[in-house]
Amino acid sequence: MDHATQIHALRPSAPLERLDVPARSLPVFRCDVLVVGSGVAGLSAALTAADRGAHVMVLCKGGIQETNTRYAQGGMAAAIGDGDRPEFHAGDTLNVGGGISEYDVVKAITGCGPDAVDWLLRLGMRMDRNPSGGIALSREGGHNIPRILHSDGTATGLEIQRVLGLAVRSHDRIDLYEHTTVVDLLKDAEGRVGGVAALMCRTPRDHPAPVLFEGGAVVLATGGGGQIFRETTNPELATADGLAMALRAGAVLQDLEFVQFHPTILYLAGAARFLISEVTRGAGGRLRDREGNAFMAAAHPDAELAPRDVVSRAIFRRIVETGDTNVYLDLSGVVDADRRFSSLARIAREFGIDIAKEPIPVRPAVHYFIGGIAADLHGRTSVEGLWAAGECASTGFHGANRMGSNSLLEGVVQGRLVGAAAASDCAASVRRFLLPKPGSAPPVHGAELSLTDMTYSLKSVMWRQAGIERDAAGLADALERLERWEDYLARLGPFTRAGVEVVNMVQVAQLIALSALFREESRGAHFRSDHPAAVEAWQLHSRVRWREGGLELGTSPVASPAAEGGVGQS
């Protein structure tokens, strides 16, 4: 990280420092592989490690079903159709990735797609079928061939969550701890991560109590942090916990400026921000402004099926130009729209909209964190003993922009690879006694801190100043506010789940703003209105980590750029 390195004198506070009892007095739970998170990546890792003979513990902040995975509607991409090949899938993924995808990672994950589908089928996953009985495949933005498989139309993530959850609950080498909020990573005297401190509820109604978990390998599969932004498709649990914990443990984080916005969420006063799948546009849905004008054809040759960053920015600009709060998705030209998109039709109907006849108000929302904890294909991070899988990891698979339906594929494939590697590593590791840092910053009584108000303020600042379009002035102002909030959160933030989540969100928001300010160009999901063009010299990964001197921000080269002519084109 020596290219254009910057040092920012910020020290992320550790929530564990506000623990008001001796850490050595806490109960300890021990296993071989400790998995934090119960989405597709975490459960795939847990099942694979357990099948390799490891004793696995899975920690879930909510119930096992409360994950981003269960809300994934678009489907899962895999090159299993006639005329498709993994190298075609790899080529499309690289085309969308904005020049910073890691070719070896892309090739490996897309190459494992057919096997991932077979594994899910063996576990009992139900997939939609075509009239001849084969797996039905659709096309989404960025994919030049239909390769998206679904379950019950738009319930693919829910079905994957169901199948993996059942397998985990029935596995005799996996212990599941629900309603357990992980607070911080713990290291031994040699600096190896070997466990976590957590707040655990025996039942959902219990008051959470601090406990320690120890594992020969610790896998973070905590998902993203969409709750940092005002408009998001993510559930309330998505508060960037894994990224913040990895930062405080000294791990390198990568490409955090790349936050993907889904172009279309239902936008009605009082309505939950319901994600409207890209499948609707693949089926012929059209985006129109208030006057009924279709505008995507002028923005990109693929119109409604352009990459998500293009569609999101086109919608954002049309909203600015018209002074409206949203645009509209017109499904009147889609045959049998009510049946094909039954969940959307049902929710829209409750708000008085017939999707077959009336346009649906939509706007973009934060959907997916492309950046995360820097990790290799097998999940190894820069800190010994710490692994990362799924959305919280940054392997270089997505590059600067995630292609639709690649995330569930990545979660299954990389999760299984991480589980196998972690099981092998923990078998060879020697257990060392953990040395958690004793509490040094007891809560301050007197001043009151409204976590709800701080959360709303954070969401608003990040949406306005680090959202779809950014500039230096807005980012610098956001950073100034975030640094001030971090300062008094370190003193006033309570040692509770909500207190930990707010600290995590503020710290990761700082990293996003810093990384976005650092990258003085526009690439993929990152757009700077004051630097609107891509710059060849910035065809690099951004990287950030915390050292005693502060936050160190720099770059690293793309390790495995695609060789010219080395990827098939569909």
Which is nearest to 364 in space by CA: 322, 313, 404? 313
For residue 312, give both structure tokens: 């999101």
- The model's pLDDT over 230-280, given as tens digits with 9 standing for 90+, comes to 999 999 999 999 999 999 999 999 999 999 999 999 998 777 778 888 889
Whole-angstrom Cα distance, residue 172 to residue 405?
32
37-258+370-428 carries CATH number 3.50.50.60? yes
Whole-angstrom Cα distance, residue 269 to residue 256?
31
Catalytic sites, residue numbers: 308
- The model's pLDDT over 379-423, given as tens digits with 9 standing for 90+, comes to 999 999 999 999 999 999 999 999 889 999 999 999 999 999 999
Q: How confident is the model at residue 220 (pLDDT cuts 50, 70, 90)?
A: very high
Phi, psi of 308 (to 5 degrees): -60, -35
- The model's pLDDT over 183-214, given as tens digits with 9 standing for 90+, comes to 999 998 889 999 999 999 977 677 899 999 99
pTM: 0.94
Whole-angstrom Cα distance, residue 195 to residue 454?
30
Tell me what the pLDDT averaged over the chain comes to.
91
Q: Are 543 and 258 in contact (CB under 8 A)?
A: no
CB atoms under 10 Å from CB of 548, counted, come to 6
Would you give the DSSP letter of residue 278? T
Whole-angstrom Cα distance, residue 253 to residue 116?
27
Domain boundaries, the chain: 37-258+370-428, 259-366
For residue 94, give both structure tokens: 């690289």
CATH number, domain 259-366: 3.90.700.10
Residue 507 makes CB contacts below 8 A (sequence gap 6+) with 12, 244, 247, 248, 486
CA angle 312, 317, 322 (to 5 degrees): 130
pLDDT at position 217 is 96
pLDDT at position 446 is 47
Whole-angstrom Cα distance, residue 322 to residue 290?
8
H helix runs in 124-186, sequence order: 156-170
In the chain, % of residues over pLDDT 90: 76
pLDDT at position 447 is 57
SS3 513: helix
Q: Are 63 and 435 in contact (CB under 8 A)?
A: no
pLDDT at position 562 is 73
pLDDT at position 309 is 86
- The model's pLDDT over 336-362, given as tens digits with 9 standing for 90+, comes to 999 888 888 999 999 999 999 999 999
Would you give the DSSP letter of residue 441? -
Which is nearest to 245 in space by CA: 283, 264, 218, 227? 218
Mean pLDDT of 106-113: 98
CB atoms under 10 Å from CB of 284, counted, come to 14
Which is nearest to 514 in space by CA: 321, 151, 254, 175? 254
For residue 353, give both structure tokens: 């909209």
pLDDT at position 273 is 78
- Cα 162 to chain centroid, rounded: 20
